[in-house]
Amino acid sequence: MYRLIRLLSLAALAAIGIWYLGFTPTGIQPAAWQPSTDPGFTGVFTPNSALAAVERLDLGDEHGPEDIALDQDGVIWTTTAEGGLWRLDNAEMSRVGQMGGRPLGLEYGPDGALYIADSYLGLIRWTPAGGSEILADEFEGAPIRYANQVAPARDGSVYFSVSTTRHDPEALGGTLPASVVDLWEHQTTGRVLRWTGDAIEKVADGFSFANGIALTPDEDALLIAETGAYRIWKHDLALGEREVLIDALPGFPDNIQAQGDGTFWIGLVSPRRPIADMLAPYPAVRDVVWRLPEAVRPQPVHHGILMRIDGDGQVLEVLQDPEGGYSLVTGGIIVGDRLFVSSLGQDALGVMNVR
């Protein structure tokens, strides 16, 4: 009798487990897709330790200096996950003010104002005298959530990416968890919008997590990082057509920062995860995996990667820190004889001497 009760109990537990893994709603809708072949860390991406030389510019109790802006005086600015606005004064970071939401990409425009893509609030314009002004928080009747990076143009308009229309980072507890679920789901709702002052226009859409953007020197094209597909696009602004500039990257591309000389810095925030690529064609399996505890789901790898490309998509250099001393790298820019490096998760802005 005891053995029968034990067998029935085990059977009941097994049935509950099968029901939980197979039938409980997850709230996501995974799509089938076919990833490019992972080149791995070979060729120009052969591991090195160049980024291990990064020194840290402390941000106090704050973290996540996700992007870097350079003002007209050559001063470095950044923001944090806590909404802090920071500036580099001499050799130390100084907190200038408190922004709303979770500011991500930022760049100074030709009018001297700082334009910010806030993942909670939309597109923001900030000046020391006037403070913050929300320029765009709605498009086609829906709130703009997960604005990611900005590219102000010389004509006064501002291009900005919206990573996804499905997942609200504020509701999900931040940009990292929202990005993980969107990449795992792989719905292609990412897009690029343009604020003109009078209207908001759609420039391009159909991306799996639209991320970094940057204008070419002539401002005739826009480079767009499609994080979920491991590639960089070049979008012709006159023709409204795009072509793949770089495909089959070994990691997830994040910000695109124009250096000003026709080259661009791109952070690969994490290497690819083989399990994620393997399960890409099987949405039902990915749905089951999402029911597992968060600790066993695929997470970013703490391997710092920063690359520099030219306008033709040629990779010029790759700096790495395989040990993850400075990881979740989102981008960088050279100012004078120093390279500044940003991160999604570090509590400091990175800096190192240029070789």
| pLDDT 10s digits, 298-338 | 889 999 999 999 999 999 999 999 999 999 999 999 999 99
Both tokens assigned to 232: 């960089």
Q: Please state the pTM of the whole predicted model.
A: 0.92
- Once rounded to an integer, what is the mean pLDDT over residues 123-136? 96
User: What is the 3-state secondary structure of 255-277?
Assistant: EEEECCCCEEEEEEEEECCHHHH
| pLDDT 10s digits, 11-61 | 333 333 333 344 455 589 999 999 999 999 999 999 999 999 999 999 999
| pLDDT 10s digits, 78-95 | 999 999 999 999 889 999
d(CA 297, CA 276): 10
- CB proximity list for 105: less than 8 A, separation 6 or greater: 66, 67, 116, 117, 147, 148, 149, 150, 160, 161, 212, 255
- The phi and psi torsions of 178 (rounded to 5 degrees) equal -70, -40
Question: Given the structure tokens 């703009």, which residue do they identify?
Answer: 144
Q: Which residues pair with 216 in a beta bridge?
A: none
Q: Where are the domains of the chain?
A: 69-301
Could you tell me if 265 and 319 are in contact, meaning their C-beta atoms sit under 8 angstroms apart?
Answer: no
CA triple 148-314-268, angle to 5 deg: 35
What per-residue confidence (pLDDT) applies to 5? 45
d(CA 66, CA 32): 30
- Once rounded to an integer, what is the mean pLDDT over residues 224-243? 98
| pLDDT 10s digits, 138-185 | 999 999 999 999 999 999 999 999 999 999 999 999 999 999 999 999
User: What is the 3-state secondary structure of the chain?
Assistant: CHHHHHHHHHHHHHHHHHHHHHHCCCCCCCCCCCCCCCCCCCHHHCCCCHHHHCEEEECCCCCCCCCCEECCCCCEEEECCCCEEEEEECCEEEEEEECCCCEEEEEECCCCCEEEEECCCEEEEEECCCEEEEEECEECCEECCCEEEEEECCCCCEEEEECCCCCCCCCCCCHHHHHHHHHHHCCCCEEEEEECCCCEEEEEEEECCEEEEEECCCCCEEEEEEHHHCEEEEEECCCCEEEEEECCCCEEEEEEEECCCCEEEEEEEEECCHHHHHCCCCHHHHHHHCCCCHHHCCCCCCCEEEEEEECCCCEEEEEEECCCCCCCEEEEEEECCEEEEEECCCCEEEEEECC
Is pLDDT above 60 for 120? yes
Q: Which amino acid is at 340?
A: F
Q: According to CATH, what is the number of the domain 69-301?
A: 2.120.10.30
Residues 318, 324, 327, 328, Cα dihedral to 10° = 100
d(CA 343, CA 160): 19
Q: Whose CA is closest to 72, among 260, 219, 341?
A: 260
